[in-house]
Amino acid sequence: MYVALFNLAAIAVLGWLLLILFPAWKVTRWIAETAVFPVFLAIVYVLGIVPLLMQTGPGIIADFGRAEGVTRLLGNGDVALVAWIHILAFDQVVGMMIYRENMQHRYVPLPVQSVLLFATLMFGPVGFLGYYVLRAWSRGRRAAHEHPARTEPPVRQVAAAGAIGPMRTAAAGALAVFRREWMLTGTGVLGIVLGVGCAVAIGVRGTELVGAEGHLRKAMAFDVAVGIYLLSLVLLVPLARFSTRGLRRWRVWLTLLALYAFAVENVQIARGIDPRFTQVGSVLDQALGGIFFLTAMGLISSFGILACKILARRMDEADGPLLLSIRYAAVATMAAFAAGFWMSAASGSTAGEASILPLHAVGFHGLQALPLVAVLLAWGGVAAQRARPWIHAAGAAWLAACAAIAWQTVEGRPLTELTPATAVAAASLLAWAAIAPLAARAWLRGGDAAAARVQPVPHPLA
């Protein structure tokens, strides 16, 4: 009976999925207002606790105040299952309270709300504590904005905005994009949270190995890498100029693919099974690995659609330098996808004594490294004609590094072995590392020059 109640309580996970993934949907709002799932879990709990009390008698309550008594009670399978339903019910209540209050007052953005709800689902009080702290911080900020205090003369505020202003504007714009694309943002943040969870599990267990094939370190790297990749794509979405319908389809498709990838990667590794190339799993596990490969194909197609939309734009537009950097980044990203195909064909991440993962990683990080140079030059007010050579140099250096790493890997040699290929890779990455600070200096100098042109504003109380 108690096992059946435990299985019945699992239905309430649907409520968590709606709260986390579709917070703005009217069905989710209705479910939150009516508290359907907390009430459902409370009824299931009553169906379990009443027979349990009739079976054991009310004397069981006396054990609640002693550690030995609680340990003895939880050693009973029926009591443990009912206690678990008790925990599920109150986690749902706390999650519903967080959802209702934040949807009304918006203390935190929706993606952050989704992360906090996921933390509440997994770790209960941790999610509530995170929301409590962020809510207090948000209330403090709102109170400060309502009653601002002037602590320095306006001339300093204007001058400081010379260098920092573009960065603040860009940060505000990025935050607005993240809020607008809350579904993809939440999925990306979920990947990072899962990666952190894997790191914690490694620290607690003292080993990364799970069963015959599970490697928590691989799951950690996968989760964090895909999370950062999704967040990087979110920032590129405005440049693609999708139609409303096209963006909705692309967004939902990419989100579902990423969620499936996270689920298979983490669940299979937690079971001690290689999610891609299992040798000990069942036929179903092997089929899931095949679907995982198709999921990777879907992720590549999604990136291809986004890249084609962006690269179809004219380079002589206002954001031409940024579009140019994205062209180089797209080529590097395709090299990373090619490395992924290579690992699938090799049924592993090694080629001889070399690892294919560095090529995979460097290619994907082109999505952050190359647009960064263009953004810094734009913040510095560098004209497009002057910025293009720097972007070409940075892009060529990054692609040369990818090609050199691929050359070393094809030969089956590790990157720690000194060869002409590793020398070219190191020199190319150093070239990019020299260009990026120069772009940063252009930004800082551009900001200082703008600040110097500001006429001092006399303090009204002087």
User: Considering the domain boundaries, does residue 249 fall inside one?
Assistant: yes
Last residue of a domain, one of 109, 128, 159: 109
The reported pLDDT for the residue numbered 161 is: 46
Verify that 305 and 369 share a domain, yes or no.
no
List helix spans (H) across 10-35. Answer: 13-21, 26-34
The reported pLDDT for the residue numbered 317 is: 66
Verify that 95 and 12 share a domain, yes or no.
yes
Verify that 296 and 330 share a domain, yes or no.
no
The reported pLDDT for the residue numbered 425 is: 94
Tell me which residue range forms the domain holding 271: 180-312
User: Considering the domain boundaries, does residue 37 fall inside one?
Assistant: yes
120-126 contacts: CB < 8 A, separation 24 or more?
Answer: 120/91, 120/94, 120/95, 121/16, 121/20, 121/91, 121/95, 122/197, 124/87, 124/90, 124/91, 124/94
Last residue of a domain, one of 55, 83, 109: 109
Verify that 305 and 209 share a domain, yes or no.
yes
Q: Which two tokens stand for residue 454?
A: 């500001």
Which residues of the chain carry a pLDDT beneath 70? 57-63, 65, 144-170, 317-318, 446-462
Verify that 307 and 328 share a domain, yes or no.
no
Task: Name the pairing type of β-strands 214-215 and 209-210.
Answer: antiparallel
Verify that 283 and 217 share a domain, yes or no.
yes
Question: Is the whole-model pTM more than 0.85?
Answer: no
The reported pLDDT for the residue numbered 6 is: 80
The reported pLDDT for the residue numbered 450 is: 42
The reported pLDDT for the residue numbered 371 is: 92
